[in-house]
Amino acid sequence: MHNHLHKTLTALTAVTCLSITYGFAQTQPVKDSGKEKTTFQTGAAWRPTTDSRADVAIIYGAGGRPGQFEQRIASWKDRGYKVAFMTGMAWGGYQDYFTGKWDGKPHMDEGQKMMNGDTVWHGKNTPYVVPTMNFLKYFKEQVVKKAIDAGIDAIYLEEPEFWNKSGYSEAFKREWKDYYGFDWRPQHESAENTYLSNKLKYHLFYRALKESFTYAKEYGKTKGMNVRCYVPTHSLINYAMWQIVSPEASLASLDCVDGYIVQSWTGTAREPNYYNGIAKERSFETAFLEYGCMRSMTAPTGRKLFFENDPVEDTRRDWADYRKNYQTTFTAELFFPDIDNYEVMPWPDRIFDGKYFTSRTSNERAGMPRSYSTQMMVMINSLNDIKTSPNKTSGTQGISVLMANSMMFQRLPTHDDGKAWADPYYSSFYESSGMFNRVPTNNKLMDPQLSNFFGEALPFLKRGVPGYRPYRECGLSKRFGRY
């Protein structure tokens, strides 16, 4: 790990001169118990095996039998945890909306659909959502309100995601007409249509977060509560690689957002990229750039930023692989001395109680090795004590790589042969999870490994070039990131 100590780079987003510096954060012997420094998300009640000693238990989802949600909350509160709430912005247990149980009308046309008419699913009976105003009415009344009524004053709406390959549902066509004032145009027919389609997807989740968080804060006030609102999200780099559209840098212009979780973990960081003509997994470098991308994007706002990583992942590997890459991404998150807030893990239930394949070729499964779980607990509990530091690396400052949200807009489809397209993207995440629809095609995705970004960023990082440029030097309006 020490070979990485001087590999630094600023990755900037939203065509603004945002900034970061790097170095190891310093630790202090005494923890500030008043801070919400460390968190984890869980869909289950407290159990001894998942008691991680972090500050905040983020309860995932408000569903279940009557009273079960409140029971889950109480089980963590009774053990001294602060409690928050998280649910998916683009997917979740919202079947009562889609089946018509909520308002008497089925809404399956509000799932994201591909050109062949197939719905993009997140899981069984769980489509990725086109967030219409009617869906947002349901979401606010049945999900957000329920969390606040249960006494929760911190709400996390994660992964506002719209797939590039989607954009063909009837609900999307209606939103297109409302937004642009003219009839829907198929995105596969031209590059202009592709841009318009993805800009709309971007707008819909910007609006969804604004509506949901504004409601949460206003409703909370009626109950004498100061509700804080956070967005857990992948980085702009990863969304561009995985062909997903999300508001990203424009979140900084939403006054109703109080902070973010950077969702970087082995699954995103191991995505192969090119350097010197060689394609391979570069988990440290990619994770470092992902953390830096979000850090730069949010630096001018002064909002709270949590870094996340994960001791396991969805891709079928083995425990030795998970451990190596966890250590790698954990090291990457420590290179930011002005960050001392962390989501130490998602889903402790699957980590500590789940069983994973012992190798990529064997069907034998085993729980987390005791040596790994012990090491992991030492590592995550050290995060409770880490404090911010003014330290930074020496070297030439002011080297930056500028990025824009629009890099997500033109990833799919390609138009070089003028033919219709489907989904030519084959990442390890798709192949392993089996969660997403995939339709083979002879069409080729231009620059599938996002080399137009990594080709600029990796040479700086590999040569240990640090970067720093304060926002005030840029002379840009504070209304950055607007779409």
Residues 6+ apart with CB under 8 A from 189: none
Is residue 171 within 8 A of residue 130, CB to CB? The reply is yes
3-class SS letters over 369-401: CHHHHHHHHHHHHHCCCEECCCCCCCCCCCCEE
More confident: 236 or 414? 236
Q: What whole-number distance in Å separates Cα of residue 466 and Cα of residue 7?
A: 7
Task: Please state, in angstroms and rounded to a whole number, the distance separating the CA atoms of residues 361 and 359.
Answer: 5
Q: Are 157 and 213 in contact (CB under 8 A)?
A: yes
Tokens found for residue 183: 């009839």
> Residues 363-369: what's their mean pLDDT?
93
pLDDT (0 to 100) of residue 434? 38
In the prediction, which pLDDT does 128 show? Answer: 97
Note the pLDDT of residue 299: 84
According to DSSP, the residues that pair with 275 across neighbouring strands are 278
Percent of the chain whose predicted confidence (pLDDT) is above 90? 65
User: For residue 448, what pLDDT band results from cuts at 50, 70 and 90?
Assistant: confident
Q: What is the pLDDT of residue 6?
A: 35
CATH superfamily of 2-473: Glycosidases (3.20.20.80)
| pLDDT the model gives residue 401 | 87
Per-residue confidence (pLDDT) for residue 235, from 0 to 100 = 95
Query: For residue 304, what is the DSSP state?
Result: E
Using the predicted structure, report yes or no on whether residue 55 has a pLDDT greater than 80.
yes
Q: Is 334 exposed, middle or buried (0-12, 13-18, 19+ CB in 10 A)?
A: buried
What would the mean pLDDT of 91-116 be, rounded to a whole number? 94
How does the average pLDDT of the chain come out, rounded?
Answer: 83
Mean pLDDT across 154-176: 97
Q: Which of 125-139, 216-230, 428-442 has the lowest mean pLDDT?
A: 428-442
Phi and psi of 31, rounded to 5°?
Answer: -85, 140
Strands 356-357 and 365-366: antiparallel
pLDDT interval class at 411 (50, 70, 90):
confident
State which of 32-41, 82-91, 119-128 shows the largest mean pLDDT: 82-91
pLDDT confidence bin for 399, thresholds 50/70/90: confident
151 vs 442, higher pLDDT: 151
Helix axis angle, 170-180 to 191-222, nearest 10°: 90
DSSP category for residue 266:
H
| Contact present, 151 and 157 (Cβ < 8 Å) | no
* pLDDT of 123 above 70: yes
Tell me how far apart the alpha carbons of residues 449 and 453 are, in angstroms, rounded to a whole number: 9
Q: What is the mean pLDDT of residues 264-287?
A: 94
Higher pLDDT, 435 or 363: 363
The string of pLDDT tens digits covering residues 173-232 is 999 999 999 999 999 988 899 999 999 999 999 999 999 999 999 999 999 999 999 999
In which band, very low, low, confident or very high, does the pLDDT at 34 lie, cut at 50, 70 and 90? low
Domain ranges in the chain are: 2-473
